[in-house]
A and B are shown apart, each in its own frame.
Chain A
Amino acid sequence: MAQANITSELIGNSFPHPDKWKWYHYFTFNIDHKVIGIQYLVSAFFFYLVGGAMALVMRAELATPSSDLVDPNFYNALLTNHGTIMIFLWIVPGAIGGFGNYLVPLMIGARDMAFPKLNALAFWLTVPAGLLIVGSFFFGGAQSGWTSYPPLSLITANTAQSMWILAIVFAGTSSILGALNFIITIWKMRVPSMGWNDMPLFCWAILATSLMALFSTPVLAAGLVLLLFDINFGTSFFRPENGGDVVMYQHLFWFYSHPAVYLMILPIFGIMSEVIPVHARKPIFGYKAIAYSSLTICIIGLFVWVHHMFTSGTPPWMRMFFTVSTLIVAVPTGVKIFSWVATLWGGKIRYTSAMLFAIGLLAMFVFGGLSGVTLGTAPVDIHVHDTYYVVAHFHYVLFGGSVFGIYAGLYHWFPKITGRMLNEPLGKVHFILTFIGTNLTFLPMHELGLKGMPRRVAMYDPQFQYINIICTIGAFVLGLSILPFLINAIWSWSNGPKASGNPWNAKTLEWTTDSPPMIENWDVLPVMTEGPYAYGEEPAEVSS
């Protein structure tokens, strides 16, 4: 990748800053996108550990059929906040806020995001969100599930529930500000040599994600604010005894929260499209198909929300319409899967830890996608809705999918972010433990659900104990699997071998600068001389 001079008007005005950030700058209102990216990633990972610890307590409780470890109300607080933390404080801020902020400007050859102060504000809005969630535990914790359906959410732990609502509104506002920033940045700030179809696929994924967040998040905020009013100010939007409509809440909630699933997986698809070509040493197969299928998923994904409500107060036409729209989402998703598999075909695959996690994701996401098709049809969903089958399905997609993708991204970009290489053998131990743990925990849950075990229960029919013990063992393997990663990341951050600017020999623009990049990314902005995935070809002539 050659570099060339660009006229100074295009560079824009700089802001005063030291040559290098000190450690304490990472705890301040800093407007550097890379600092913000690291702030998001580290704080999200902290919450991942908190949410994971909650899951381990729940699995320990479920080792026996009776409720004998924690109080059942506390169990409900755990399941509510496990879901909330993993979605709103781990995957969304980690994948979009963390990787999105760190990588998008570097990938498109920009010195920062379009609105750096807004960007910093978006991060700092997630801080009160996290504090409110932690603080709510002093009031018993919200106990009505991450879905918080009224009337249960209206009559249970009112203070904690209100804090939970405010936390989600903060996180949602952060998400809206971030989305706006990404759209403008990707639209307006690409280096002049980068056309839409030269853009790395991660940027396409973030663009689609941001459009989706921008359309759907305000609806969730509206629903939650109405709920907050019902709890605290005597309104009756969702109070059936005063003529309120509880099903209306479900529509408002899922209009956002189904797209939220795509908010959690589209950026991961973007990470996949970056990691696989680099480590398979091949161009990505079907660039346009992958790029546009993100947009297709984003559009269709806005019209599938009622599949979460097939057993609720929904008329027949709605159940049928949303069955069909849900099934259609499988098509663009399948296109991506097939394209990644085709990218592997004929490559020279290097089994780095990043690649192992990417292939592990591919293997498990296929399974999660297939179980998703069965769930999307009303006749089967009526049987398995709100059972462990659903829990199994979405953990295959969100743990086997999103979390594996974040790990792939962490192994892939750790050298760029920290300037140090991670230890590969430890990374492989981490992968093997995580892969075994994931399947041991979540595969048996499919059978639990089909056979008749509902989700969100602290006590269950003793006939299910055997399978539950397998799941619990798997969960503790998963808990253990974090250790090699933590040791690796903490040790390597200061002591790992120094990374070169481009240790994987990759072609996207973030690898044309130092590791870690200087503040404002480049002395002289880069120019694209070849495609982002031009592997297996002779480099084109330098055009400038």
Chain B
Amino acid sequence: MKQIPAPLWTLTIGVIVTLVSLWVGFNNDWLPEQASAQSVLVDNFFNVMVVIGTALFLVVEGTIVYCMVQFRRRKGDDADGLAIDGNLPLEAFWTAIPAVIVIGLGIYSVQIFQDMGGCAPGDQVHEHGTRLAHASAAPLGDLTAADGDEALLAQSVYGIGAPLDKEGQAADLEVNVAGMQYAWIFTYPNSGIVDGELHVPVNADVKLNISANDVIHSFWVPQFRLKQDAIPGKETELRFVATKPGTYPVVCAELCGGYHGAMRTQVIVHSPSEFNNWLEQRTAQAETGTAETVAINPADLTDADYLAPYGKAAGVESHLLAHLSD
């Protein structure tokens, strides 16, 4: 052992730690399958952190174990250890290295978050670093006072919006999602379909408008790596592109009462033709009035939600109708 120079040991350990960390980072099977455009982004970022974390873990734990063995008190030795109480360059080094790592991760996570669409919820668009509300079709310069209010309202939508390259563009499909104890209700505003499961076409840009009727819920599809709370009194949205046909669980992730754990449904990602079939079939059912409606007790709904379908038929905002009953 003594003949081998220390730098050689350091180099060998460094190479081994690097290889093991890279292997763990990109060969771990900890995350579920990837089924959305965002899941790839999130997983790459997570795995980069796993690489860095594994390397730090091995180095620190390795040092602890080495110390425990090498610097254990030997029998009959009652003397003290070395009187070393600090080393400024070393301390500066282990302050600077984590600082550089976390700043790097910080910048990287902003980039990933932007690519995921996190920076543009509520149809916002980026312009030279400032975010402007994208108010309907009216150019921003021509806003009247009333439109201005609308613009402000548009800004207070939270969640994940359009990714950078689609900012300002409307989604291919919009679905209204309402959370209630203990179910999710999916409404397709263009076709009037109401369902207890979410059906979307693959590779389409889908926007969920999420609301909650009673308490806070959280809409989570693990395979999409996306989650957004459904908050009473606030609008939230989740915009995603499903990339793989299949059936995935929709899980409520915010404690919402005794049966919170049972508040599960699924999202079915169809091929485009399958989706169109489903859409036609359900529209036909809705027209003939035989739609299998989701069982909702009207007493569980707020006035606004209960009246919403009527309001839509009459072209009146539902909250206005609700006020009538006050």
Contact = CB atoms under 8 A, between A and B. Distances in A.
Interface of A: 67, 71-73, 75-76, 143-145, 147, 149, 151-152, 155-156, 240-241, 243-247, 280-289, 311-316, 319-320, 323-324, 327-328, 330-331, 334-335, 337-339, 341-342, 344-351, 359, 362-363, 366-367, 370-371, 373-374, 377-380, 382-383, 385-387, 446-447, 450-452, 454-461, 533, 535-537
Interface stretch (B163-171, B200-208, B257-265): B257-265
Interface string B47-87: 00110010011001101100110011110010111111111
A346 B71 contact: yes
Contacts of A536: 80-84
A345 B67 contact: yes
A339 B236 CA distance: 45
A284 B231 contact: no
B24 interface: no
A533 to B, nearest CB: 7
B214 to A, nearest CB: 7
Contacts of B310: none
Contacts of B135: none
B216 A246 contact: yes
8 contacts: A152-B257, A281-B79, A312-B229, A315-B158, A328-B99, A345-B63, A363-B61, A378-B118
Contact of B67 (A288, A349, A379, A461): A349
Contacts of B113: 316, 319-320, 323, 378-379
A537 B83 contact: yes
A344 B71 contact: yes
Given A241-B302, A457-B260, A151 B216 contact: yes
B109 interface: yes
B42 A379 contact: yes
Q: Which of A320, A342, A382 has the most CB of B within 10 A?
A: A382
A156 B31 contact: no
A289 B91 contact: yes
Nearest to B96: A331
B233 interface: yes
A386 B218 contact: yes
A349 B225 CA distance: 46
B94 A334 contact: yes
Contacts of B46: 374, 380, 383
Chain B interface size, under 10 / 10 to 19 / 20 to 34 / 35 or more: 35 or more
Given A76-B255, A312-B231, A348-B81, A379 B41 contact: yes
Interface stretch (B2-10, B136-144, B246-254): B246-254
A367 B228 CA distance: 28
Q: Which of B49, B81, B255, B258 has the most CB of A within 10 A?
A: B255
Given A286-B86, A380-B46, A383-B222, A447 B30 contact: yes
A72 B261 contact: yes
Q: Do most interface residues of chain B lie in helix, strand or loop, or is the interface mixed?
A: mixed
B128 to A, nearest CB: 16
B30 A240 contact: no
Contact of B110 (A71, A323, A351): A323
Nearest to A389: B30
A386 B86 CA distance: 41
Contact of B85 (A284, A324, A359, A452): A284
A283 B83 contact: yes
Contact of A348 (B71, B87, B253): B71
Instruction: Please give me the 7 A-B residue pairs with the lowest Cβ-Cβ distance, nearest first.
Output: A240-B233, A457-B261, A452-B222, A536-B83, A347-B81, A283-B85, A344-B67
A469 B158 CA distance: 38
Contacts of B228: 311, 382
Contact of A313 (B72, B229, B249): B229
Interface of B: 30-32, 41-42, 45-46, 49-50, 53, 56-57, 60-61, 63-64, 67-68, 71-74, 77, 79-87, 90-91, 94-95, 98-99, 102-103, 105-106, 109-110, 112-113, 116, 118-121, 131, 158, 160, 214-216, 218, 220, 222-223, 225-229, 231-234, 236, 249, 251-262, 264, 302
B234 A452 contact: no
Contacts of A156: 257
A456 B112 CA distance: 29
A373 B85 contact: no
Contacts of A247: 231, 234
A345 B103 CA distance: 29
Q: Which of A155, A315, A379, A537 has the most CB of B within 10 A?
A: A379
Given A374-B53, A377-B45, A456-B255, 17 more contacts: A151-B216, A240-B234, A246-B216, A327-B103, A330-B102, A345-B67, A345-B71, A349-B72, A366-B60, A371-B53, A382-B118, A386-B218, A386-B227, A447-B30, A450-B31, A451-B222, A533-B85
A334 to B, nearest CB: 4
A536 B110 CA distance: 48
Contacts of B83: 282-283, 535-537
Nearest to A318: B158
Contacts of B252: 454
B259 to A, nearest CB: 6
Given A346-B82, A373-B105, A452-B222, A351 B261 contact: no
B64 A362 contact: yes
B151 to A, nearest CB: 15
A30 to B, nearest CB: 39
B120 A316 contact: yes
A373 B60 contact: no
B227 A311 contact: yes
A482 B60 CA distance: 29
A367 B64 CA distance: 13
A379 B45 contact: yes
Nearest to B44: A379
Nearest to A312: B229
Contacts of B99: 328, 331
A345 B71 CA distance: 7
A285 B86 contact: yes
A179 B116 CA distance: 43
Contacts of A311: 218, 227-229, 253
A370 B61 CA distance: 12
A309 to B, nearest CB: 9
A344 B82 contact: no
B156 to A, nearest CB: 8
A505 B69 CA distance: 23
B42 A383 contact: yes
Nearest to A383: B225
Contacts of B60: 337-338, 341, 366
A280 B71 contact: yes
Contacts of A454: 220, 251-253, 260-261
Contacts of A380: 42, 45-46, 49, 109
A378 B105 contact: no
B95 A341 contact: no
Q: Which of B67, B232, B257 has the most CB of A within 10 A?
A: B67
A281 B77 CA distance: 11
Contacts of B260: 76, 454, 456-458
A452 B32 contact: yes
B30 A386 contact: no
A217 B27 CA distance: 44
A143 to B, nearest CB: 7
A300 B98 CA distance: 16
B119 A72 contact: no
A75 B249 CA distance: 23
Contacts of A314: 158
Nearest to B99: A331
B64 A245 contact: no
